[in-house]
Amino acid sequence: MATSKTREAIKDDLKTLKEDVVTLKDDVKLGAREEAANLKAKAAEARAAAKIKAEELKGKAGEYYATARERGQEYYGEAQDRFDDAQRYVTERVQERPLQSTAIALGVGVVIGLLLAGRRN
């Protein structure tokens, strides 16, 4: 009879063990689902934060672009003014002394011609 009680106790223990395994399996599934949900929520938060940072950087880049464009236009205007002044100055000097200007231009042309001819040899 002791063996019969032992068998019953073993059967009960096995039954309890099977129930515990099923319960543990369900608990593990539930925990995994909860963890997956937490990770999805964290990923969504990270995406939102990245999107906010991207918008901030886009705004800053736009500001830098606008500033650079404005400065470029200022520099272009200044350079154009200086070029116009230089052109006016040269035109006035040539008109004041046409013979001297022609001689200087001829001399510069000869020097450039000699330099270029020297390279060919």
Q: Give the structural domain span for 9.
A: 2-120
Residues 79, 75: Cα–Cα separation, whole Å: 6
- Is the overall model pTM greater than 0.95, yes or no? no
pLDDT class for 10, splitting at 50, 70, 90?
A: confident
pLDDT class for 119, splitting at 50, 70, 90?
A: confident
Side-chain-side CA neighbours of residue 75 (13 Å): 6
Mean pLDDT, residues 19-41: 89
Under 8 Å between Cβ of 101 and 94? yes
Side-chain-side CA neighbours of residue 15 (13 Å): 6
Residues 116, 114: Cα–Cα separation, whole Å: 5
Number of structural domains in the chain: 1
Residues 71, 27: Cα–Cα separation, whole Å: 65
Report CA torsion sign: 85, 87, 88, 90. Answer: positive
Measure the N-to-C terminal CA separation of the chain; round to a whole number of Å: 124
